Amino acid sequence: MKKIFYISLAILSLSSCKKTMERINTNPNASENASPGLLFSNAAVNLGGLRAGGDMYASLILAAQTISSGGDAGWGKANVYDISIYSTGNAWKTYYSSTGFNLKEAIRIAEETTPVQSGAAAQCKILLAEAMYETTVIWGDIPYTEAWQAKTIPYPKFDRQEDVLNSLLALLDEALGQLDDPDANSTAITAQDYFYSGNLDNWRALANSLKFRILMLMVDKDPSKATAIQQLVSNGGMISDAEQDFMLPFNEKAGNQNPKYALLSQYAGGANIFFFANTTVLNPMKAQNDPRIPYYFDKPDTIPDYIGVLTEETANPDVTASISMLLYRPDAPEVIFSYQEQLFLEAEAYARGLTPGGMSLADEKYKQALTAACNYYGVDSLSREAFLASKSLLTVTDPVAEIHLQQWIDLMDRPIEAFTNWRRSGPDGSEVPNLSLPLGAPAGPLMRRWIYPLAEEISPNVNAPKEGQQVYDKMWFDL
Amino acid sequence: MKKLLLTFAVFLWAGLQIALAQSRPVRGQVLDENGEGVPGASVQVKGTTSGTITDVDGNFSLDVPDDATTLVITAIGYGSQEVNAGDGDNALAVNLTTTSTALSETIITALGIRRSEKSLGYSAQKVGTDQLENARANNVVDALAGKVAGVRVNSQSGGVGGSSKIIIRGSSSLSGSSQPLFVIDGVPISNSSQASTSSGLSVDYGNRAGDINPDDIETMTVLKGPAATAQYGSLAKDGAIIITTKRGTKNSPLSISINSSFRVDNILLLPSLQSEYAQGIYGIYNLRYANGWGPKISEMKNTKVPDYLGRSVTLQAYPDNAKNFFQTGNTWMNDIAVSGGDEKNDYRIGFGALNSKGIVLNQTLKRYNLSANIGHRFSDKVSSRFTFNYANSDANGRPVQSSNNPSVLTSSVYSIPVTVDVEDLKKNYQDEFGVQNNLTTDKTGNNPFWILNKNLNGNKLDRFYGSAYLDYTPTDWLTVSNNFGYDIYNEDRLAVVRQGTAGDLKGSYAAVSLFQQRFNNDLMITGQKNLNDDWNLKVMVGNNILDRKLSTDQVIASGLYQDSLFRPANAETAQPLQAQSQSRLVSLYGEISASYKDMLYLTVTGRNDWSSALVYTGNYSYFYPSITGSFVFTELMDRNSILSFGKVRASYAQVGSDTDPYSTLPYFNPVASYFLQYSLPGQFPFNGQGAFSAQRVLPEGNLKPQLAGSFEIGTDLRFFNERVNLDVTYYNTKTRNQIINLDVPLSTGYFAKQINAGQITNQGIEAILNIAALRPASRNGFAWNILANIAHNKQTVDELDGTLEYYAVQSGWSGLQIKAPVGGSFALYGTKWRRSPDGQFVINPNTGLREVDNDKYLGDINPDFMLGINNRFSYKGFSLGFLIDIRQGGVFFSGTVANLRASGMAEETAEYRDGSFIDKGVNQLADGSYQPNETPVQSMQDFWAHYSSAASTEGSVFDASFVKLREVTLSYAFPQNYTPFKNVIKGLEIGLEARNLWLIKSFVPHVDPELSYFGSGSAGDGVEFNSFPSTKSYGVNLKVKL
């Protein structure tokens, strides 16, 4: 009897001991749960921060040659293809972890909840498709189908770019399907939806537009995509209003400011002394008396005209025009997809005969696009109409090239899209505009990609391509 | 504090009472067979611990209790002898005879158990007061360098109060720290060197063992492997440093000892810089660059150019810039201790002050230590001991290392253009309005004196640790003891960037408050019995509870409204982070040891741990045993003068260990910020909304405890009456089921996953040779003692997770990685020069620059062997000692050297600038064949930029071998008769001492090969990035005993 008493006493004390230990090992710093909205919030803001920040904006925009560093006067050496491995690594980290993985977890949680939070799941999928689109246009072949399955797939394989893009089309279709779910509206992310505040019609339009942009990227290499393009254009339902611009709003509050402004604020007291007008953009604008020039650029008061420099030409701050503080204002939004971008793509589809409608419809879209672009910067209607009066696709010898040039000008401050659009704007040597190797860049062809990050992916992944790459290696879509 | 002073006063008074009332003086001389005085003999009052040591002439004087009748005299190499204490009227003369005694020295082992050295089944090495009190190191860890076989010490930087890392028998861990456990008076204390999580700031805040006052230490025992530390469990998987603090002597009058040192510190090694070329680019003067790639100064004699202040000047070289930048630092170390005791009590109260000024402006360290060690015997059966330590330190001007921070110092010092006068720069770091005069026109062109004067990083620490010990001996064979220990500290760190700093114009700060608390309790019941004349049996069971709490409270704020005020409300953004953690380890342990005569010893131990960190896994409870044995084989031999003592020992042991708290379950973390490059503030709430992040490390739900198994065999041989002593150990430690966070491809979404991985083997040989090369034949004789220790360790990564070929121990810079490859040991990997089949460099025929291959093996980061040779000479009262520390093998990457070369500052970059330079090598032709290279490099700037760029690691990798004169001490102890004020002063010793004096041989240009980027919390080694330079120091020391 006594024995039993002692044994049970021992067991009791041990089990209570275990309870104490469980209490001790309860994490006071983190939660076992998180709502899809809170994870979406992290994903969205990190994506916007990357696009507008020092890793992506400041390095890619100089290498893409829409903006000049002004040689020794400006920011960094990315224009001569000296791109920091920290930048490539941080970008990869954002796409796969801060943005990608948080969206994947949000989708998992949304779909495991009863009833399924189909609205939230769809929003997350659309943003994920955008993030992975950016990843593949920067690096080409990337892990996608086997990504984010750490428990079962420790070393994701790299999918071919064509397969990634097709998978993203499928992901967007999946999201569109979920948006049709009757519960979608009631289960949408609203508070943390910085883009559309839970307006699922806008998300539906965005999903279609993203599909359109992907198809337009693919169609040169895979002409069979023309069918899908035709279908999308004729069905409509894409972004059709400037109100639907897909952009992350920054605000005046420190810590929420546009990173471009924050950079200037921290390093230059809030003035732009690093980024200058590149002749590749400014000169064609001047040639067409573009009313957007004073919105794009600031010039010294003493100089009558806007003067640009070549990509790595030394700027003279007393003479050279710089990128405007309007673009670099603290509350400038980070635009990811714009109405004018949509219209230019539609104009291109008509002009190239990818979808029936002919050049007159193309011209109509082209003018709408220019109107939207002028409106975006607040160009007054008088100047805008005067400018538009001089613009017509019907009078130029190469309407498609004209559209590409206008896309180049429109995308000046959006390096990923500008760089991608330039690469798809024509076969090697015939891109619009015709760029040359920046002074001081290593001898060889122009840059066409980023190098995979070694420490973040290539080294730890046994299935990663191990052979070295060059910045001028082309990817699948790039002819 | 008041209370403490009061206690102090009470003890002082008590001590005086003892001295005045209860004793009588006895003096005498201890002589050898030839009638010469025997120095260093112990004279003890029988039945007490009260006693003294004879001086160089064999003289002693001692106050003995009135009722004491007998003195016990012992000396190494002589037998022990009892003599009548006399009545104090006449001097005693004691004659000793030489004997060959089997050593009876004892050593403190795990759990504070004192054992005779001969009974040990493993290697344990003791470092005594004499080795610690001379040439004192600020940080006790540094004091071990070169003194213990198999122990390697690395200082992270030469800044005052910088951290020191200690590796015993090689790194056993793939990730995180391989630091030994520090145990003070039975209490495991923290030796963390917690990194701040503030982004972009790599500041060395020191390691917490640096809070210990070396002067309080009586002995340090280094327990090197699992066999020795099995009883400490998880915490001591990488060995243990057992520290016993000084205590008072029972039945001895109050005595005061004073130990004072003053030292000056200078930079150990200045880089060799060129002084021919100004700043600029491709030979053209340009103020944007702080470098040496401008025009030749001698060719600019007739040209006026603007300098950094806009003055029009003729260029002129200031070749001593680097030297003038650094100042002479100094350190005062003052210690005073009061000790004594009566029959029931003993006490020692010590106070230490360390005041150090660094080799650059505004770098200071102040450390104050107060310690008390008080023993009290309540009765024959019950006694107690109470120890208390308070450490207060205040450091400022801690240097920022690495890169990507406006406050990094080393790179900006070493790139001051030779045409800029450092003295001028110092005077003009700001204008009359307090606006910085930048050194260059670049966006981060800070004047280094601006950094030194404005952007200070400091930390303040308050720490308490100590123990309360009680034992009860109801019968002569049974003891019950309990030791409760505590270690509590609070550390406040503040790193500031003042307004107007290039790269962070609005100013920012990071304030971190760290709190750590440890409670440790050991309850032990020990029974010991002589079964008969030959057999002795000892059985012990015990229980340990260790509870650890950590909390971090930090604010990173940027955009200050008002300069110089570092509070969140004064900042545009302030990101808070609060984190707390707790873990508890509960253990039961037991030990059975048996001995037969003085010849055979056997000990078996077992320990079972219950770890809170593993409570959610299936492996909450885990057990590990050890067995050790020792055989004194000379007991079976006839006593002879050749081999006076010999033993062999063997052991096998396992040590299990757990993981960090909360790491085995998945969580979502609230996030206060989003990432923006260039340290821009990105803060949640964003547009009013918060955010959460999924976990970045994939937890393993069924995590197993890590297990280190070690086999060790050794021998201890003493020849020629112990004139030559040799101790050799072979060990083989296998660490299995390592708990590591394996870096996974980011495409998995995770940064890392927790796994039980692999097996690392460390095997090696250690030898300690102690030679009394010259034994004093007479009391004035000349003595020479050599103590050498050598250690070789071979580390092999046997297995990882089965698929991986290597594990990235550290990575993150331009392809330079420390990797643990399966089948090899930790090694440096990076880009290597491409070589033709016959070993020549392959050179690009267009540029004339060497081609590289990525991700290649560059060399092992571990040494082949470490050798320390300590010589000590003594003659009469003089004593001269010097310690030479030798490292052979391994490689070292120096980021400082790479910067010096890429910036055209290093001496070697001045060559060939005028003419053309063709690098020796071959070009590879289209058909794959090779022809000698004839393409000159376009400029030396291009050559060195390429040679030293992050993308050409091999150019900055060197052989890490070195020979260093680590310590030199010269001291003179006054014979008692000649001591001034001999009635008051009972001992007087003065000395000269020097540390880290001379880098005798090194293969690394410009910097000390011992610099390290990695603190003690990292498994990385062999890499340095703009580390603060190390120092040499020399000074005087005065020891007085009253």
Best of A14, A42, A142 to substitute, by most chain B Cβ atoms within 10 angstroms, is: A42
pLDDT at B337: 95
Is the CB of residue B239 less than 8 Å from the CB of residue B146? Answer: no
Strands B70-74 and B81-84: antiparallel
Give the integer Cα–Cα distance in Å for B809 and B822.
13
Q: Which of B978, B970, B904, B968 is closest to B282 using CA atoms?
A: B904
Cα(B10)–Cα(B17) distance, integer angstroms? 11
Mean pLDDT of B278-286: 91
Please report the residues numbered 244 through 303 in chain A whose beta carbons come closer than 8 angstroms to any beta carbon of chain B. 249, 251, 254-256, 259, 262-263, 265-269, 274
The dihedrals phi and psi of B342, each to the nearest 5 degrees, come to: -120, -160
B864: tokens are: 């082949």
From the list B167, B162, B172, the residue with the least C-alpha distance to B145 is B167
CB proximity list for A123: less than 8 A, separation 6 or greater = A40, A175, A188, A189, A193, A200, A203
Report the percentage of chain B scoring pLDDT > 70. Answer: 90
Interface of A with B in 184-223 (CB under 8 A): 191-192, 194
Which candidate from B581, B682, B746 shows the least CB-CB separation from A93? B746
- Give dist(CA B491, CA B516) in Å, integer: 9
Residues of A in contact with B174 (CB under 8 A): none
B680/A54 Cβ within 8 A: yes
- Chain A CB contacts of B697 below 8 Å: none
- Complete DSSP assignment for A96-163: IIIIIIHHHHHHHHHHHSSS--HHHHHHHHHHHHHHHHHHHHHHSSB--TTTT-TTT-SSPPPBPHHH
Of residues B1014 and B292, the one with the higher pLDDT is B292
Q: pLDDT tens for residues B751-772?
A: 988 888 888 898 999 999 999 8
Out of A18, A150, A265, the one facing B748 most closely (by C-beta) is: A150
Check residue B229 and give its pLDDT: 79
Contact criterion met (CB below 8 Å) for B760 and B769: no
> Does A31 touch chain B if contact means CB atoms closer than 8 Å?
yes
CA atoms within 13 A on the CB side of B478: 5
Closest CA to A50 of A258, A269, A193: A258
Cis peptide before B685 (omega within 30 of 0): yes
Nearest 10 degrees: Cα torsion A12, A14, A17, A19? -70
User: What gap in Å lies between CA B529 and CA B507, rounded to an integer?
Assistant: 70
Q: Give the 3-state secondary structure of residue B759.
A: strand
Beta bridge partners of B462: B392, B490
CA nearest neighbour of A61 among A265, A278, A261? A278
Predicted confidence at residue B778, as pLDDT, reads 67
Check CB contact under 8 Å for A460 and B745.
yes
Distance, CA of A261 to CA of A329 (rounded, Å)? 6
* Nearest-CB residue to B615 (from A22, A148, A194): A22
E-strand spans in B498-614? 508-530, 535-560, 571-596, 600-611
User: Is B679 in contact with A154 (Cβ distance < 8 A)?
Assistant: no
| Shortest CA distance from A55: residue in chain B | B677
Question: Which secondary structure element, helix H or strand E, spans residue A176, and what is its range?
Answer: helix A161-179
Task: Using a CB–CB cutoff of 8 Å, tell me whether A85 touches chain B.
Answer: yes
Does B662 sit within 8 Å of A262, measured CB to CB?
A: no
Any bridge partners for residue B265, and if so which?
B329, B1033
Q: Are A452 and A466 in contact (CB under 8 A)?
A: no
How confident is the model over B45-89, as pLDDT tens digits? 776 667 777 776 777 877 777 777 778 787 765 666 777 777 666
Tell if the CB–CB gap between A148 and B698 is shorter than 8 Å: no
- CA torsion B245-B248-B254-B256 (nearest 10°) is -20
Q: Measure Cα distances from A176 to A179, B417, B751, B854, B917 in Å.
A: 5, 62, 31, 45, 64
Q: Given this model, what pLDDT does residue B199 score?
A: 43
Average pLDDT across chain B, whole number: 85
| Residues whose CB is less than 8 angstroms from the CB of residue B242 and which lie 6 or more positions away in sequence, other chains included | B108, B109, B110, B112, B183, B220, B221, B222, B223
| Torsion from C-alpha of A333, A337, A339, A344, nearest 10 degrees | 130
* pLDDT digit string, tens, across residues B681-696: 899 999 999 999 999 9
**Residue tagged 């700001």 (tokens):** B430
**Other Cβ atoms within 10 Å of B197 Cβ, number:** 13
Q: What is the pLDDT along chain A (479 residues), one digit of tens a residue?
A: 556 656 655 555 555 688 899 999 999 999 999 999 999 999 999 999 999 999 999 999 999 999 998 877 678 778 888 888 889 999 999 999 999 999 999 999 999 999 999 999 999 999 999 999 999 999 999 999 999 999 999 999 999 999 999 999 999 999 999 999 999 999 999 999 999 999 999 999 999 999 999 999 999 999 999 999 999 999 999 999 999 999 999 999 999 999 999 999 988 889 999 999 999 999 999 999 999 999 999 999 999 999 999 998 888 889 999 999 999 999 999 999 999 999 999 999 999 999 999 999 999 999 999 999 999 999 999 999 999 999 999 999 999 999 999 999 999 999 999 999 999 999 999 999 999 998 878 777 999 999 999 888 988 898 999 777 888 999 999 99
Distance (Å) from the alpha carbon of B656 to chain A's nearest alpha carbon: 18
- Is A439 an 8 Å CB contact of chain B? no
- List chain B residues with CB under 8 Å of A151: 698
Chain B residues 5-44 within an 8 A CB cutoff of chain A:
none
Of B224, B45, B221, give the one whose Cα is nearest residue B129. Answer: B221
- Of B170-174, B293-297, B891-895, give the lowest mean pLDDT range: B170-174
Distances in Å between the Cα of B874 and the Cα atoms of B19, B75, B781, B877 are 33, 17, 8, 7
Average pLDDT over residues B304-323: 92
Residue among B383, B378, B344, B536 nearest B472 (CA): B383
Hey, what are B867's tokens? 């050798």
- B694-745 pLDDT, tens digit per residue, is 999 999 888 999 888 899 999 999 998 888 999 999 999 898 888 888 888 9
Residue B348 has pLDDT above 90, yes or no: yes
What pLDDT is attached to residue B3? 46
B132: helix, strand or coil: helix
Q: Give me the sign of the Cα torsion angle B636, B641, B642, B644.
A: positive
Q: What CA–CA distance (Å, rounded) separates B712 from A415? A: 63
Integer CA distances (angstroms), B826 to B224, B762, B829, in order? 20, 11, 10
Q: 3-class secondary structure for B957-1001?
A: EEECCEEEEEEEEEEEECCHHHCCCCCCCCEEEEEEEEEEEEEEE
CA distance B711 to B706: 17
Would you state the pLDDT for residue B1002?
A: 95
Q: Which residues of B touch A255 (CB under 8 A)?
A: 572-573, 575, 673, 681-683
The CA-based diameter of chain A, rounded to the nearest angstrom, is 107
Query: What per-residue confidence (pLDDT) applies to A15?
Result: 58
| A419 interface with B at CB cutoff 8 Å | no
Taking the model in full, what pTM does it have? Answer: 0.86
Partner B contacted by A71 (CB < 8 A): no
Q: If you measure CA to CA, which chain B residue comes closest to A37?
A: B691
